[in-house]
């Protein structure tokens, strides 16, 4: 049965490409976001036709999550599976030189082009088409199959987190995001704001008294004090690069990026406040709470050595649920257990179906996949497309790889949901 279905993917690849085109044609860039209602209605209808029950709710107005559940015939005895993907895509600037419009998908020279082709409507289309072929063949899976179509991944709004909070769980989850058909884990990312603030505001003319002998004015520029913190963060970043390693990652992936700085009123004042927005990358065996605490401890030690910062210590605000609303995000890390039965099965099916060994490694970027780890759901990233194409002008995915992905996903859904507990 499975072999026959795999051959159907090849024979009906035009339908697969047409489905991917339909998804790409929905304009869902984030930012601005709040634009996924139509595509989510399409996906909900698609899943209903495949005998899934549908849970659809607004995470934000105009941005609903969709979870489809198809109960297995013997749920208590067989393994369950979550397939997860996001429908938002990277932002598009008006002056980008697309060959056709970013939401006018085309196929040329074996590539499907359009915003989201690689990240990650190609993966969504492949997984949905695999489900459709199983449904049309009358396959009754003994294990539960859940399909999560989420919003907000591009702007840290973590629709996947909302699915986890809503109680959806399974024995394994596959995030069908951009991985070039590698089976991947990931490090994590957390953003944070460091604020230096003076309790008093001083006129620019008082600066001489702050910085010269005998001035007798205990004050400081928040911008200048923040410069010391930035320099200190660079030292901590270098220390991490020397002391921290993780198999499968190049050294120095644990970066601390001083991404945005805001401070001062105008030229007639000493800057009484300065805020630094940092992006911190960490390894799969670390948590965002752990690295935030490391940064805070280091900065507070630096502050303790400065007379003014010791009396006016920096303040910290970490993470957030939206880069759009509260200018902050968290992407937890995801470790992949190579010995997990699902990982081994996925790797074996990849090799048997495509005739080449599976690569199990680490993504240099982040996805929503880390939220599964936070909720103790074993997971891996596995999808078509490359990071070189993701977010790019004239973003594209190879049609051949999209077909390959669909074959492997069809096989994995079938086999995993036929695996006894």
The number of distinct structural domains making up the chain is: 2
The pTM (predicted TM-score) of the whole model is 0.94
Same domain? 214 vs 263? yes
Residue 291's nearest CA partner among 278, 304, 303 is 278
Establish if 274 belongs to a structural domain: yes
Structural domain containing residue 270: 188-318
Q: DSSP states of 291-346 as a string? A: HHHHHHHHHHHHHHTSHHHHHS--EEEE--SBTTTSSB-EE--B---TTSHHHHHH
Same domain? 255 vs 295? yes
Establish if 7 belongs to a structural domain: yes
Take residue 158 and report the two structure tokens written for it.
Answer: 């973590």
CA 293-298-302 angle, 5° bins:
145
pLDDT at residue number 2: 82
67 DSSP β-pair partners: 55, 148
Same domain? 43 vs 168? yes
The answer to whether the beta carbons of residues 399 and 110 sit under 8 Å apart is yes
Establish if 161 belongs to a structural domain: yes
Same domain? 299 vs 347? no
CB burial of 50-77 (b: ≥16 within 10 Å; e: otherwise) equals bebeebeeebbeebbbbbbbbebebeee
Same domain? 213 vs 126? no
Same domain? 400 vs 296? no
CATH number at residue 252: 3.30.70.360
Same domain? 123 vs 213? no
Same domain? 77 vs 126? yes
Establish if 146 belongs to a structural domain: yes
| Distance from C-alpha of 302 to C-alpha of 231, rounded to nearest angstrom | 10
The answer to whether the beta carbons of residues 125 and 402 sit under 8 Å apart is yes
pLDDT at residue number 212: 87
Establish if 329 belongs to a structural domain: no
Same domain? 116 vs 23? yes
Establish if 398 belongs to a structural domain: yes
pLDDT at residue number 200: 92
Same domain? 26 vs 173? yes
Same domain? 391 vs 297? no
Task: Show Cβ contacts of residue 127 under 8 Å, excluding neighbours closer than 6 positions.
Answer: 83, 85, 147, 176, 406, 409
Domain end marker among 283, 318, 353: 318
CATH number at residue 354: 3.40.630.10
pLDDT tens, residue order, the chain (421 aa)? 788 999 999 999 999 999 999 999 999 999 999 999 999 999 999 999 999 999 999 999 999 999 999 999 999 999 999 999 999 999 999 999 999 999 999 999 999 999 999 999 999 999 999 999 999 999 999 999 999 999 999 999 999 999 999 999 999 999 999 999 999 999 999 999 999 999 999 989 899 898 888 888 889 999 999 999 999 999 999 999 999 999 888 889 999 999 999 999 999 999 999 999 999 999 999 999 999 999 999 999 999 999 999 999 999 999 999 999 999 999 999 999 999 999 999 999 999 999 999 999 999 999 999 999 999 999 999 999 999 999 999 999 999 999 999 999 999 999 999 999 9
Same domain? 267 vs 218? yes
Establish if 328 belongs to a structural domain: no
Establish if 323 belongs to a structural domain: no
Catalytic residue ranges: 88, 153
CA distances from 59 to 43, 164, 178, 372 (A): 16, 13, 23, 18
| Distance from C-alpha of 407 to C-alpha of 203, rounded to nearest angstrom | 69
């Amino acid at each position: 049965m499975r072999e026959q279905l795999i051959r159907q993917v090849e024979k009906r690849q035009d339908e697969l490409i047409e489905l991917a085109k339909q998804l790409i044609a929905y304009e869902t860039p984030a930012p601005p976001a709040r634009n996924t209602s139509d595509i989510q209605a399409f996906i909900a209808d698609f899943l209903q036709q495949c005998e899934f029950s549908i849970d659809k709710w607004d995470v934000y107005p105009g941005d609903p999550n969709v979870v489809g559940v198809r109960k297995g015939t013997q749920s208590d005895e067989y393994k369950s599976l979550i397939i997860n993907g996001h429908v938002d895509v990277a932002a598009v600037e008006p002056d980008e030189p697309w060959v056709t419009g970013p939401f006018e998908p085309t196929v040329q020279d074996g590539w499907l082009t359009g915003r989201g082709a690689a990240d990650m409507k190609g993966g969504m289309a492949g997984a949905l088409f695999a489900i459709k072929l199983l449904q049309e063949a009358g396959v009754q899976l003994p294990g539960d199959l859940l399909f999560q179509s989420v919003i907000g991944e591009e702007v840290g709004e973590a629709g996947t987190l909302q699915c986890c909070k809503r109680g959806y769980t399974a024995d394994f989850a596959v995030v069908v995001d951009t991985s070039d058909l590698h089976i991947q884990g990931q490090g994590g990312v957390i953003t944070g704001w460091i604020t230096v603030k003076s309790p008093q505001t001083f006129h620019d003319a008082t600066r001489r008294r702050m910085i010269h002998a005998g001035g007798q004015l205990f004050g400081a520029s928040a911008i200048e004090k923040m410069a010391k913190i930035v320099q200190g963060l660079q030292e901590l970043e270098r220390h991490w690069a020397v002391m921290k390693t993780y198999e499968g990652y190049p050294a120095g992936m644990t970066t601390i990026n001083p991404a945005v700085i805001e401070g001062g009123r105008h030229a007639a004042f000493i800057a009484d406040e300065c805020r630094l927005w940092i992006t911190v990358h960490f390894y799969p065996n670390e948590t965002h709470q752990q690295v935030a605490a490391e940064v805070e401890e280091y900065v507070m030690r630096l502050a303790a050595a400065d007379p003014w910062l010791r009396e006016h210590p920096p303040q910290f605000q970490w993470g957030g649920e939206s880069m759009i609303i509260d200018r902050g995000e968290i992407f937890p890390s995801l470790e992949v257990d190579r010995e997990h039965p699902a990982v081994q099965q996925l790797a074996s099916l990849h090799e048997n179906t495509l005739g080449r060994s599976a690569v199990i490694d680490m993504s240099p970027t982040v996805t929503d996949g880390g939220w599964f780890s936070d909720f103790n759901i074993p997971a891996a990233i596995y999808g078509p497309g490359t990071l070189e194409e993701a977010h790019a002008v004239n973003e594209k995915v190879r049609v051949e790889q999209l077909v390959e992905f669909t074959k492997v996903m069809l096989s994995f859904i079938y086999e995993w949901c036929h695996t006894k507990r």
